[in-house]
Structure 1
Amino acid sequence: MIIEVPNASHYEESGFGYLNLAWTEAISHLLHVNDAKETWWDASADDEDDDAPSEQEQRFWQRVQKHLGQSLSLSVQGTEFLLKGRIARISPYLLIANKVAEWPKQNSDGNIRFADFKTVDAQDLCRLYGAVSENPLDDEFTDLFTQLRRKRNVLVHSVDNSLKLVAKEILVNCLVVSEHLIGQQKWFGVRREYQVSDVEDYEDSCVNCVLGREFGILMEVLEPAQLHRFLGLNKRRRYYRCPSCQGECADWGLRTLSAFFPTKEPGQRELYCFVCEETFDVERSKCLDEECQGDVLYEDDCLTCGETQDKFRW
């Protein structure tokens, strides 16, 4: 008898974990670059073209290529497990690749552990899933998975100095995988669950601060179409400071504008924060700072400039 047979949730849990590790590695370097630009990198050393990376930034990305390689490899591993989870929902036995004549020997109790079997190669997972599912994967996903596996194989088995990994591309790849194998616009919720499970003595503020910083980076590096597709966000919408996140994350120096009005109707008062998922009833009054054009206040603080209104009443 085949024993210790994994179910879909076992594979999916591993897939979530590996994909989150890949994301954490890639986005940590973008956060480092962002912090470095604001604090210790010499701004005078930047090229005249503001859109071009400085020599300091170019050297940094060259140094972390192996780290980005680890991130890419983890993303491929996570994708494989999520695919296996999809197949295991139908039947985990479909993943066994051995011919019956090549099955492992039974133990003294007449059993064979599932883990002792050879499972289907990664290159065959999409084809297998397409053969047994009513909803096969589309070309965008299968082409991406093939490209990622090839890059991973080069990193693991060879040396290719022309292969340059980009952190933003790894993030976008994770978002594409998440859309196809987890669900549309589900990734930020997956990140929250992962952070909660990863934080000892869980505190909302710590998780919100981590997600708040990630949100700021995504708003900066993703294209408007990518933000709308993967997160359901409009990059051109006006964003405000979140009353909760700004207070909880004061020690982090968090300045992310993550709150917005869900519709464009004038005079709205319910402000929603994408990061902490809270809604706030705000006051629509002009900020007393003459240099600020904001008109959204919460407990006497302007959510545009951050200034307390009492400062301007004297």
Structure 2
Amino acid sequence: MIVSAPTADELNDVSLRLYFSAWSSLIEIWSDFELTFEGFGPGKSSAWKDEWQDYLVASQSEMQSIFSIVQHSNELALKAMICEVCPYLLLIGNDLKLNVNPSADLRFTDFRTIDAVDLPAAVNNFCPRKLTQQFVQTYDDIRGFRNKFVHLGHSDRRFDPFELLHSLIAIYSELWPQRNWLRDRVDFASEERKAYFSDGKHFSVHADIMYEQEYNIELFTKSEFKTVFGEEKSRRRYFCFDCLDEATTGWSDFDRETAKTAFISRSDNQQIRCAMCETSFIVERVPCSQDGCKGNVIGANSDDHDGRCHTCGEHTTP
């Protein structure tokens, strides 16, 4: 019999690790440049356009490698969708050479699985959720580049990290529509090498993500923000004290405004919910007593954050 067949969860886990590795690398390409040429970003009028173009030339080989990782992630995600129906469908088209009297069990990993070029068609034939034509075109485009890169070691294609980041949001929306992007970002960052140094005093995974949020908020279009946060970009955001405190270390100095990840519930204005950790908190709607703060969403969750303003983060005075 065939043993060790993969599961959808196993394939999705690897696929998402690759996806967020690519995301992190692209954000670093942008952030490294912005640290030297302050104020640069998408949609901004910048005096650094010539420098940015020169920097892109120097970044092309790295972005080609990142693009190849994205394709590997896409293939595993499509295989995960097929596995949800039946993992053995991945062996379709495989010229199996079987022994009438096998001496041992057959391992699934010893067989060749369905070719990458056939995965979209397999998903649309076997799976209840079909891929959009736009995604199939994107998938074929990335696959075509990856083949050139893998077999020839180079490509004449020129990449822009902002275009790739926008593409990654669209890919996530297509492949994992029922998942939470922000929650996944934290969870998979917790599996990366840097998480080893997370001690809550000098470094934390949440702090790293909050620094990244400064770039993400600037990047996201309205529809992309809705994909990531599950809410409209125009809605007011509030502090989730669980996530904020996890991110606050002795060395952290991220932009606190971009660290707001919670929204007032649409059905109950006495409750807020965090888009990152998915925790809900009870609040009372009374004015904050801190000078200059116009907030009126105060913690009332019967914990240490009672009386703490979700707008400014400070405790109100009795």
Q: SS of the residue aligned with 1:251?
A: coil
Query: Is residue 116 of structure 2 the alignment partner of residue 122 of structure 1?
Result: yes
Deviation at 1:8, TM superposition (A): 2.2
Q: Is the 8 A contact 2:19 2:70 kept in 1?
A: yes
Q: Distance in 2 between matches of 1:293 and 1:10?
A: 47
Q: How many residues are paired up?
A: 296
Q: Is the 8 A contact 2:238 2:263 kept in 1?
A: no
Q: Deviations over 1:29-85 (max 9, x none)?
A: 2222333334xx9x9xx9xx8246433332222212222112111111011111111
Unpaired segments ≥5 residues, structure 1: none
Deviation at 1:139, TM superposition (A): 1.2
Q: SS of the residue aligned with 2:234?
A: coil
Alignment of 1:168-183 (within 5 A): 168-183=162-177
Match of 1:262 in 2: 264
Match of 2:137 in 1: 143
Query: Is residue 212 of structure 2 the alignment partner of residue 214 of structure 1?
Result: yes
Q: Distance in 1 between matches of 2:57 and 2:315?
A: 44
Match of 2:15 in 1: 15
Q: Is the 8 A contact 1:76 1:152 kept in 2?
A: yes
Alignment of 1:60-71 (within 5 A): 60-71=55-66
The Cα RMSD (Å) is 3.7
Deviation at 1:140, TM superposition (A): 2.2
Q: Distance in 1 between matches of 2:99 and 2:52?
A: 55
Question: What TM-score do the two structures reach when normalised by structure 2?
Answer: 0.75
Q: Which of 184, 208, 223 is equivalent to 1:225? A: 223
Alignment of 1:228-239 (within 5 A): 228-239=226-237
Q: Distance in 1 between matches of 2:136 and 2:216?
A: 25
Match of 1:112 in 2: 106
CA separation of 1:112/1:306 partners in 2, compared to 1, >3 Å: closer, same or farther? closer
Q: Is 221-230 or 295-304 further displaced after alignment?
A: 295-304
Q: SS of the residue aligned with 1:24?
A: helix
Q: SS of the residue aligned with 1:177?
A: helix
Match of 1:200 in 2: 196
Question: What TM-score do the two structures reach when normalised by structure 1?
Answer: 0.76
CA separation of 1:272/1:13 partners in 2, compared to 1, >3 Å: closer, same or farther? closer
Q: Distance in 2 between matches of 1:77 and 1:276?
A: 28
Q: Distance in 2 between matches of 1:37 and 1:107?
A: 68
Unpaired segments ≥5 residues, structure 2: 299-304
